[in-house]
Amino acid sequence: MRRLVIKDLEGDIENRTARISVIGQGYIGLPTSLLMAKAGFQVLGFDINEELIRELSKGRTRLDREEGIQELISSLLGERYIPTNDERDLMGSDIVLIAVPTPKNANGPDLRMVISALETALRVIREGGLIIIESTLPPGTFERIIVPTVKKHGFSIGSNIYLAYCPERALPGRLINELVNNVRVIGAIDDRSAQLTKLLYKTFVRGEIELVDPLTAEVVKLVENSFRDVNIAFANEVARICEALGIDVRKVRELANKHPRVNLLVPGIGVGGSCLTKDPLFLYWASLENGYEPIILKRARDLNANMPYHYASILDDVVRNIKNGETGTIAVLGATYKGDVPDSRESPVEPFVRELLRKGHRVKVYDPLVTEAFGGEYVSNIFEAVRGADAIAFVTDHSEFRFLNLSKLRKAVKVEDPVVLFDGRMIFNPKEVEEAGFIYISVGMSLSTHKLPIKEFITVR
Ligand SMILES: NC(=O)c1ccc[n+]([C@@H]2O[C@H](COP(=O)([O-])OP(=O)(O)OC[C@H]3O[C@@H](n4cnc5c(N)ncnc54)[C@H](O)[C@@H]3O)[C@@H](O)[C@H]2O)c1
């Protein structure tokens, strides 16, 4: 006998008897599953990656540096949180939440994984169940693709199935905290779907919950990341201006930020991660399709994407200066797109390394969290990585790097000639770097390094 559709699901959420399945057990899906399990639900964490599910079943995750995740797995695994890669386990789910990637390709957004996950959800959801999409959707996707797909499977939204879009906006490195405390924006085309989704999130979210139409939710999510990308681009632009004018961006930033209405971000070798590199483009493409070509979004994206090439070119010049025109050995420290996060997707370190290799240098790469080397030689120990290097490039702000003994690092290089330390994330005090025996170069510094022979450069400083 079919259950009473609307009242039952509300009651099941309130009583924590709703069976929840989460499709995708990555950065977003796993912590969200754990938080719902902690709130009292039985949660099936489904993923097509068999290795990931095997590891999770043993209580292991690559997100173990995220505060609280390991503890949640230890206390909930096998009881209220069950990882699986068998779709049959999900049959009859009351609620299915989708958290699979939405990458971009050369021509636009790639929605194949979201569609495939939605089709899984439609096969396993019980009649009268609720499907929530947390994966990032380009504007218009909910109404133009998601809703028709649901209808094609014979469901009637707001009648025998409920459907909402709740874009995730949590920051890796602070996932549990942000999943609980951030404001949530829920987009739905019918009131019932919105209310049921709100009821579910209220079981584990402390931030406010706002209900809007799906298109507004889609745009809000993308505007947030575009805001960040544009602001980083502005900081990077200021750094490039300072380089051109021959002054230090550190001082400019320090003084400008003393103004009550200025908050210039830290410039660096580029922007990475799966979200910031695609979300502004999703917004750009959608607007373009609808008749307005955004001016800032694309320029900001291009500027940020060019930063790794720019600094690879500067480092190439500096090393050739030291080596009388020859190429050299460069130790690249850091591979992930962000400090203390084991994620190298869309990392700006990749174009940086590939460009140095293309220019003919030997490149050794060390990262404490991942073994990715982007075509360079991976070295598992920082002191081994810097041995024999003509230049050391810090390109990720891992905590491990911030507290390094720089004199010890300089000794480990075992090279008498000048050795350059490129501070691509502005994490060091230039004076301390020079006292340790390195030539310090960084983002937003005088481009005399670029124009003058190295000996003159040293004299100038
Ligand atoms: N990582 C972030 O910082 C972040 C922040 C906010 C929003 N988002 C958005 O959240 C979504 C998920 O991102 P993520 O970083 O968690 O991705 P992720 O790559 O860490 O995890 C996604 C998981 O989904 C699995 N998967 C892919 N297709 C599947 C399918 N059809 N069925 C079952 N599993 C499938 C993959 O194997 C992978 O383990 C994306 O749309 C992203 O834009 C991510």
The ligand 1 atom at the shortest distance from the C-alpha of residue 175 is 3
Radius of gyration in angstroms for the set of CA atoms belonging to the chain, rounded to a whole number = 25
Ligand 1 neighbour 367 (Cβ under 6 A) = no
Ligand 1 neighbour 275 (Cβ under 6 A) = yes
Q: How many A from CA of 376 to the centre of ligand 1?
A: 27
Nearest protein CA to atom 1 of ligand 1, as residue = 27
Terminal Cα distance for the chain, rounded? 82
For residues 173 and 220, membership in a common domain is answered with no
For residues 419 and 339, membership in a common domain is answered with yes
Q: How far apart are CA 208 and CA 202, in angstroms?
A: 9
Q: Identify the DSSP state of 87.
A: G
Tell which residue, 106, 11, 87, 12, has the closest CA to residue 45.
87
Domain that residue 435 falls in: 216-461
Q: How many A from CA of 207 to the centre of ligand 1?
A: 22
For residues 57 and 147, membership in a common domain is answered with yes
Ligand 1 neighbour 61 (Cβ under 6 A) = no
For residues 229 and 306, membership in a common domain is answered with yes
For residues 306 and 404, membership in a common domain is answered with yes
Ligand 1 neighbour 26 (Cβ under 6 A) = yes
Q: How far apart are CA 363 and CA 335, in angstroms?
A: 12
For residues 394 and 408, membership in a common domain is answered with yes
Q: How far apart are CA 313 and CA 454, in angstroms?
A: 15
pLDDT for position 47: 98
Q: Of 187, 212, 237, which closes a domain?
A: 212
Q: Of 197, 212, 227, which closes a domain?
A: 212
For residues 72 and 196, membership in a common domain is answered with yes
Tally the residues of the chain: 461
Q: How many A from CA of 102 to the centre of ligand 1?
A: 7
309 touches 369 (CB < 8 A)? no
Q: Of 212, 243, 261, which closes a domain?
A: 212
Q: How many A from CA of 113 to the centre of ligand 1?
A: 9
The CATH number of whichever domain residue 114 belongs to comes to 3.40.50.720
193 touches 164 (CB < 8 A)? yes
Ligand 1 neighbour 102 (Cβ under 6 A) = yes
For residues 202 and 221, membership in a common domain is answered with no
For residues 286 and 199, membership in a common domain is answered with no
Tell which residue, 351, 376, 359, has the closest CA to residue 325.
359
For residues 146 and 224, membership in a common domain is answered with no
Structural domains of the chain, count: 2
As annotated, the active-site residues are 221, 275
212 touches 181 (CB < 8 A)? no
Nearest protein CA to atom 23 of ligand 1, as residue = 24
Nearest protein CA to atom 37 of ligand 1, as residue = 49
Phi, psi at 303, each rounded to 5°: -60, -50
Place of tokens 């979004």: 297
pLDDT for position 448: 55
pLDDT for position 439: 95
For residues 109 and 201, membership in a common domain is answered with yes
List, in sequence order, every residue forming a beta bridge with 440; answer none if it has no partner.
421
pLDDT tens digits in sequence order for the chain, 461 residues long:
344 445 589 999 999 999 999 999 999 999 999 999 999 999 999 999 999 999 999 999 999 989 999 999 999 999 999 999 999 999 999 999 999 999 999 889 999 999 999 999 999 999 999 999 999 999 999 999 999 999 999 999 999 999 999 999 999 999 999 999 999 999 999 999 999 999 999 999 999 999 999 999 999 999 999 999 999 999 999 999 999 999 999 999 999 999 999 999 999 999 999 899 999 999 999 999 999 999 999 999 999 999 999 999 999 999 999 999 999 999 999 999 999 999 999 999 999 999 999 999 999 999 999 999 999 999 999 999 999 999 999 999 999 999 999 999 999 999 888 999 999 999 999 999 999 999 999 999 975 544 444 444 443 33
Ligand 1 neighbour 46 (Cβ under 6 A) = yes
Q: How far apart are CA 307 and CA 302, in angstroms?
A: 9
For residues 69 and 120, membership in a common domain is answered with yes
SS3 356: helix
Q: How many A from CA of 104 to the centre of ligand 1?
A: 13
pLDDT for position 458: 41
Phi, psi at 208, each rounded to 5°: -65, 155
